[in-house]
Amino acid sequence: AQSVTQPDIHITVSEGASLELRCNYSYGATPYLFWYVQSPGQGLQLLLKYFSGDTLVQGIKGFEAEFKRSQSSFNLRKPSVHWSDAAEYFCAVGDSNYQLIWGAGTKLIIKP
Amino acid sequence: NAGVTQTPKFQVLKTGQSMTLQCAQDMNHEYMSWYRQDPGMGLRLIHYSVGAGITDQGEVPNGYNVSRSTTEDFPLRLLSAAPSQTSVYFCASSYSSISSYEQYFGPGTRLTVT
C-alpha cells in the first residue's frame, strides 16, 4: 500500500541553525513528491515538488529537498532557519489517480 | 484574488445537528476537494470534484455530502453531526484534476461536535 512516513512528530531547532525534516514513502512507481507547510491558523501552502529530473529541488522560502530513490526518501532542508519558519510541515506523494497521500506532519519549533 | 475562502472559521454543533461548511474559490479552478485534519493523521480526503456537476468520494466520505453546482462553490454538508466529526476541515482547489497535486488551501474551519 502507498504510504508516507514522517518519523519526527516534533523537531526543535535554534534560530540560525540548519534544518532537516525526514520523509519516507512507499510507492510502486516513480513518485511525485511534495512538501507543504502549514503556518499556525492557516491553510497549507506548497513549498516544493519533485516530478522528475534533478533530484535536488528548490522551493520557496529558501527550502530545498532531495529525492533519494535508493532510500525512498525526500528530506526537506534549510541551511539557516528563521523564527517565521515555525510551522507544521507535511510530506505527500501523488498517486496514479491524481490524489495526494499525506504524511502525519512534523511540527517545527524554533528556539530563540 | 481572494483565493480559497471558507466559512465559518469556527463552529460548535450538538450531536445530530446538521450544517453546511462553505467553500468558494475565485481562480476558475476545475478541481476542488475537502479534507479533514486530525492530530497525528495528516490530511484525509473526504470528497472531491473535477468540475461543476461532478463529485466523487475520497477516503473518508461517510457522514458527509457535497455538491458542485458552480465552478466557484463546493459546500460540504454534515447530515447528522457526530463527535467523531470533530476536526479541522480544509477546502482546496487546483487548476485541473491533472494538476491536483498542486493545491491551494483555504484557512480551514474548526468544528467541534458535543
Model confidence over A78-88: pLDDT tens digits?
Answer: 999 999 999 99
Mean pLDDT in residue range B34-54: 93
pLDDT at B98 exceeding the cut of 90: no
- How far apart CA B21 and CA B100 sit, in angstroms, is 21
Q: What are phi and psi of B83, to 5 degrees?
A: -55, -30
**A90–B106: do the CB atoms touch at under 8 Å?**
no
- How far apart CA B78 and CA B64 sit, in angstroms, is 5
pLDDT at B99 exceeding the cut of 80: no
pLDDT band at B42 (very low <50, low <70, confident <90, very high): confident
- How far apart CA A100 and CA A92 sit, in angstroms, is 6
Strands B43-51 and B104-105: unpaired
pLDDT band at B32 (very low <50, low <70, confident <90, very high): very high
pLDDT band at A30 (very low <50, low <70, confident <90, very high): confident
What integer pLDDT is reported at residue B33 of this predicted model? 96
Percent of chain A scored above 90 by pLDDT? 80
pLDDT at A28 exceeding the cut of 90: no
CA distance A43 to chain B (A): 4
pLDDT band at B86 (very low <50, low <70, confident <90, very high): very high
Please provide the average confidence, as pLDDT, over all residues in chain B: 94
CA distance A94 to chain B (A): 6
Mean pLDDT in residue range A49-67: 94
Strands B10-13 and B64-66: unpaired
Q: Compare CB distances from B42 to A34, A43, A102 and report the shortest one's residue.
A: A102
CB B113 within 8 A of CB B85: yes
Mean pLDDT in residue range A73-98: 94
**Residue B16, all three cell numbers:** 445530530
Q: Model confidence over B55-79: pLDDT tens digits?
A: 999 999 999 999 999 999 999 999 9
What integer pLDDT is reported at residue B107 of this predicted model? 94
Strands A106-111 and A10-14: parallel
pLDDT at A1 exceeding the cut of 80: no
CA distance A104 to chain B (A): 4
What integer pLDDT is reported at residue A65 of this predicted model? 98
pLDDT at B106 exceeding the cut of 80: yes
- How far apart CA B4 and CA B14 sit, in angstroms, is 27
In order of A31, B25, B31, B54, the CA distances from B70 in angstroms are 33, 10, 12, 10
Percent of chain B scored above 90 by pLDDT? 88
Between chain A and chain B, the number of residue pairs with CB atoms below 8 A apart is 52
List, as own/partner pairs, every contact residues A3-8 make where C-beta atoms lie below 8 angstroms and the sequence separation is at least 24, other chains included.
A3/A101, A4/A91, A4/A92, A4/A93, A4/A101, A4/A102, A4/A103, A4/B42, A5/A103, A5/A104, A6/A89, A6/A90, A6/A91, A6/A103, A6/A104, A6/A105, A6/A106, A8/A106
Mutate to test the interface with A, among B29, B37, B43 (most CBs of A within 10 A): B43
What integer pLDDT is reported at residue A76 of this predicted model? 98
